Structure 1
Amino acid sequence: MIYILIAYILGQLAYHHTLTSLFIASLMFISMMIKHYRVLFICLVLFTIIIGYAIEQYMIHPYVGHHTLSTISTKQRTHLHFDTLPVITGQQMIANASVNGERYRFTLYNVGDTIRALDAAFWSTHVCEVEATLKPPQQIGQTGYISVNTMDISQCKPYKTTSLHLHIQQIRNKIIENIRNEQLPGSQYIIAVSTGFTDFISQAEKQQFRDLGISHLLAVSGTHVGILTALFYRIGKRLPLPIFITQMLLLLILPCFLIFSGATPSAERSVIMAMLAILLSSYIKIVGLHILCLSYILISVYQPELHFHIGFQFSFSICFLLILLQQTYMKQHLGIRLFLSSFVALLGTLPISYQHFNEIQWLSVLTNFFFIPLYSLCIIPMSFLTVMIAWISPSLLSLFNYPFSLFFQIQSKLIALFYPLTQWKMIIADLGEIGYVLIIVFVVICCFLLSKRKFKICLIMVSLLMIVNHVCYPEYQNRMTVIDVGQGDATLFETATGETLMIDTGGEREESQYKHRTSITDAKTYPLLKKRGIRCIDYLVITHPHADHIGELPNLANKLKIRNIMINPNRFDEYYFKVVKNVCESEGAKLISYLDQQYLKLGDFQFSFLNTDIDLSDDLNEHSIITSVQIKQYHLLLMGDATIANEDKLIENYTLPKVDILKVGHHGSKTSSSEKFLDTIHPDIALISAGKSNLYRLPSPIIIDRLQERHIQTYNTADHHHIVVHFDKTYKLYRE
């Protein structure tokens, strides 16, 4: 039976990772031949793989097609229902909301006093009509976004519902509100582990948990379902109730708990596994892998888009290895058991971490040793009890102040102990499908060694992986990448000798109303650098001190080493000069004036930093560092936010060659790229860095027309994401 179930899943996997599926299928067929399975059964397994592949192709295709057709933001008047309690920070409010049955991430940018005064009862029982901008998901399996500038409460109308789903949501929201009102220590964590609602946890706290490899503790998963199930069985035994009645009650309670916890993929997996175990235990001998595979198939057929959900992938891959190797660690002493189970869970994350993050959270093996007992034995059970009290008698919640204060003090001390270790990151560069297969091979070998209790050899294998990964780098290339940082600027140069130069960091202007809760470095820049295997920036050039060019400097410095920072000291904002100085001191970076080093050679690239300062100008744009780049026979010109006045001075003071690639000044604003300038340098290609639907409506249509009139090919990060130019005998431009 297990071979048939795994064969179907392998067929699904083959649609996404053909080589990996072939490798695992080969191991499975070898196993069947060793066990002398009949040829007919082996043929049935092969046929099941084909069926799995065909069904996956059929199920996924509509989602791919639908996603391709709907990538443009639209502004419309619509009715929405709030699924979660809104979280208000400053003038911004966020929540999960539904429009015509589709789930969206809702953001309101101007929150008035009337909205602040509304309680959970209002948000749970009203439908609001708003003028909103709807942005479809960027990737399959993600939610879309709704942006609203202002919301008129008079346009919110009450409604009545008989839906059990909505009634449970109303109860959930009221419980969350009661816990928040009591201001219990660590209330954001209590709410997260008991209801699955994590919006009250700041991005900085979430990032801490991710860096420590313990973010899974904030997700409702098997631990929660296990505690709930064990609690019901114990109550049923004490009452006493027939086991049949207890099981029937659980079959009713578990779906309600799934709704209450936000129906996350990990919660779905745990609840369905528990229900299958209850339903099938009376008829067949329950095997964990059978239940896991059945639940995977059921969920993937019912919700095929979840295949693209990272939480779904993590939940099943970790659970698969924990069940597969449970005989290895369950018979060990408690300490060894915790360590081994954490290591097995880490193995389960490797392929997914490689594919999505290009980073391995090695620290999780240590941190989970301490945090799992803290959460499993203390925080989660106490949070469940808190939820019950918050629902039945909120006035008694103050009784939980002391225990939670103690628990979260312990948590804070553990975080302070381990967080310094996060500076040693294990980055794995993207090697494509071959890299994915190699990771799978490594995981299979480690699992085999663990099953044979060859712990020392397994440790040697892991050590070798870490050494090889640290010493070996991907093949270096001469390329320039205009990074998609929204309405900002960041350009990366990489040489065939492994050196890097970056111009600007991106960032958000202070006046921007669309402030991201996740930093641009975390969302855009650092993932690209990890994918390239870049652990250090040799030179960082800050063209001028505007937030959209320098704003991400502290975040970038927190992620990787910066050796040299180059600025124009003539006109530099005092606040940002302190930021640069602090980064130089903390990183040991050298601060360079571009006036003292106007020429730099890195590999085949020759960089010239051109002085076109408008001396008496107070406009920081007119003190931008302009960079001329030559690689072999090709010339590039990067203008920063230089204006027409700078362009005129550039033409007057320098003999400019014909430019092959122009990085257009000031995001395509009409203050740059004059006709005289374009006619002087004759660029073949123009690259623009601008945010999609940005507040300034850049690039200007005037500039786009001006470029098109001269038959200059134009590429914009808003339309093409990261724009990459690869230099060899000729140059090749593509999007990434």
Structure 2
Amino acid sequence: MKRFFLSLFLAGASLLSAAGDLQVYAIDVEGGKSTLFVSPSGQSMLVDTGYDGFRNRDADRIVAAAKAAGVKQIDYLVITHYHHDHVGGVPQLAAKIPIRNFVDHGKNFEEAKDNAAVYNQYVKIRNKANHIEVKAGDRIPIEGMQVEVVTASGVAIAAPLAGAGQANPACASYKPLQPDTGENAHSIGIVVTYGDFRLADLGDLYWNQEHDLACPDNKLGVVDVYLTTHHGKKTSGSPQMVWALDPRVAIMNNGPSTGGSAQAWQTIHDSPDLVDLWQLHYATASDSAHNAPEKFIANSGEPCKGNWIRLSVREDGAFTVLNSRNHYEKTYEPSKKSSSVPR
């Protein structure tokens, strides 16, 4: 009996200590995107909602992550851009959990019939709540952490973030791709700061627009965690951007056959101070040499159970990453590099 009560005490102590942490859930939406941030203040920010359809699959997975995090409403829903794998799930999600504020870049830059239909469905839901249209340089006013918008509507921040602005030697070898005038190029990108911890999430920002953040000077500075851009496709995640961010950990929000390209994987792998790369899925189009070790992959094989990857972040910059499939977790101690960036 004493052992039972001791176990309860220790479990309660663990929950209390976690209550002061920043929690981040990389949710599996099968090659779309959805990431839940829960601030130590208790406020929540969801970045993108995955797909519609599939019998409410993505909305159900988001709600399950919210429940695991103790979240009963989404305080800020950030829609990085209006592709169906990022915004399509909004109507289904809004029917399951309250959403207080909708954050986006405003205008839809793709008038194709299918994309316009997805956008119009989103606007109907957005109009029932508060709408915040952001531009580069704005901050999303969530309590307990700092969220800086570094790019939106195809325009990057003009001045570097605090502590950034160093010359980027990788820019000498930069080669642009064919221009993209659609939604990917207009994606919202954010840098999240909590104490001495920094995380970059650039949505599906296109290769050429990454250049505006990385060259000739690194406007973002270094980060602890990089949420891979555009699911790890080869049209994003340039060496100039990834190596400038110099992450210790990368989390790839790929699907089994979406993203996870060998080229993007190798670029991340070659980042100077990378320790580990975690993946939401084993990338079936790549070989084993271009996939993370099994313990770092949340979903492998079929049927997919929608396992997530969770970060628990302390204010001193230390963080723990957990794979919900196998419960493997790894703690990363505070980084001298990221903690030296002025806040």
Regarding TM over 0.5, the answer is yes
Distance 2:218 2:153 in 1: 13
1:582 corresponding residue in structure 2: 124
2:239 corresponding residue in structure 1: 675
- 2:134–2:152 CA contact under 8 A, matched in 1: no
Distance 1:590 1:602 in 2: 14
Letter aligned with residue 735 of structure 1:
N
2:186 corresponding residue in structure 1: 623
Verify: 1:650 aligned to 2:187, yes or no: no
Distance 2:154 2:54 in 1: 34
Within 5 A, what are the aligned runs for 1:333-352? none
Letter aligned with residue 666 of structure 1:
H
Structure 2 CA distance for partners of 1:604 and 1:654, relative to 1, 3 Å: farther
Alignment match of 1:610 (pick from 144, 150, 164)? 150
Distance 1:603 1:476 in 2: 13
- 1:644–1:671 CA contact under 8 A, matched in 2: yes
Alignment match of 1:568 (pick from 105, 127, 132)? 105
Give the strand-richer structure, 1 or 2.
Answer: 2
Total equivalences in the alignment: 259
Alignment match of 1:491 (pick from 10, 35, 43)? 35
Structure 2 CA distance for partners of 1:597 and 1:540, relative to 1, 3 Å: farther
Distance 1:432 1:539 in 2: 34
Alignment match of 1:723 (pick from 304, 309, 315)? 309
Q: Alpha-carbon deviation of 1:531? A: 2.6
Verify: 1:635 aligned to 2:172, yes or no: no
- 1:482–1:491 CA contact under 8 A, matched in 2: yes
1:501 corresponding residue in structure 2: 45
Structure 2 CA distance for partners of 1:432 and 1:624, relative to 1, 3 Å: farther
Within 5 A, what are the aligned runs for 1:73-92? none
- 1:476–1:498 CA contact under 8 A, matched in 2: no
Distance 1:679 1:528 in 2: 31
- Secondary structure at the residue paired with 2:67? helix
| Bigger relative contact order, structure 1 or 2 (CA pairs below 8 A, ≥6 apart) | 2
Structure 1-normalised TM-score?
Answer: 0.33
Q: Alpha-carbon deviation of 1:433? A: 11
- 1:612–1:649 CA contact under 8 A, matched in 2: no
Verify: 1:546 aligned to 2:94, yes or no: no
- Secondary structure at the residue paired with 2:54? coil
- Secondary structure at the residue paired with 1:583? helix
What do the CA deviations read for 1:227-265 (whole angstroms, capped 9, x no partner)?
xxxxxxxxxxxxxxxxxxxxxxxxxxxxxxxxxxxxxxx
1:555 corresponding residue in structure 2: 92
1:690 corresponding residue in structure 2: 254
Letter aligned with residue 268 of structure 2:
L
Q: Alpha-carbon deviation of 1:685? A: 1.1
Distance 1:685 1:631 in 2: 16
Letter aligned with residue 519 of structure 1:
R
Distance 1:620 1:650 in 2: 17
Distance 1:690 1:647 in 2: 19
What do the CA deviations read for 1:265-311 (whole angstroms, capped 9, x no partner)?
xxxxxxxxxxxxxxxxxxxxxxxxxxxxxxxxxxxxxxxxxxxxxxx
Structure 2 CA distance for partners of 1:533 and 1:656, relative to 1, 3 Å: closer
Structure 2 CA distance for partners of 1:562 and 1:708, relative to 1, 3 Å: same
Structure 2 CA distance for partners of 1:530 and 1:674, relative to 1, 3 Å: same
Distance 1:591 1:546 in 2: 19
Distance 2:323 2:186 in 1: 30
Distance 1:545 1:639 in 2: 14
Structure 2 CA distance for partners of 1:675 and 1:624, relative to 1, 3 Å: same
Q: Alpha-carbon deviation of 1:732? A: 1.5
Q: Alpha-carbon deviation of 1:640? A: 0.5
- 1:19–1:433 CA contact under 8 A, matched in 2: no
Q: Alpha-carbon deviation of 1:675? A: 1.4
Moved over 4 A (4+): 431-435
2:58 corresponding residue in structure 1: 520
Give the helix-richer structure, 1 or 2.
Answer: 1
Letter aligned with residue 223 of structure 2:
V
Structure 2-normalised TM-score?
Answer: 0.68
Structure 2 CA distance for partners of 1:434 and 1:725, relative to 1, 3 Å: closer
- Secondary structure at the residue paired with 2:108? coil
Distance 1:664 1:596 in 2: 20
What do the CA deviations read for 1:586-641 (whole angstroms, capped 9, x no partner)?
xx411111129811343331001122544784321111000111111121110101
Alignment match of 1:705 (pick from 240, 256, 266)? 266
1:732 corresponding residue in structure 2: 320
Gaps of 5+ in 1: 1-17, 21-430, 436-473, 509-514
Larger Rg: 1
Report the identity percentage: 25
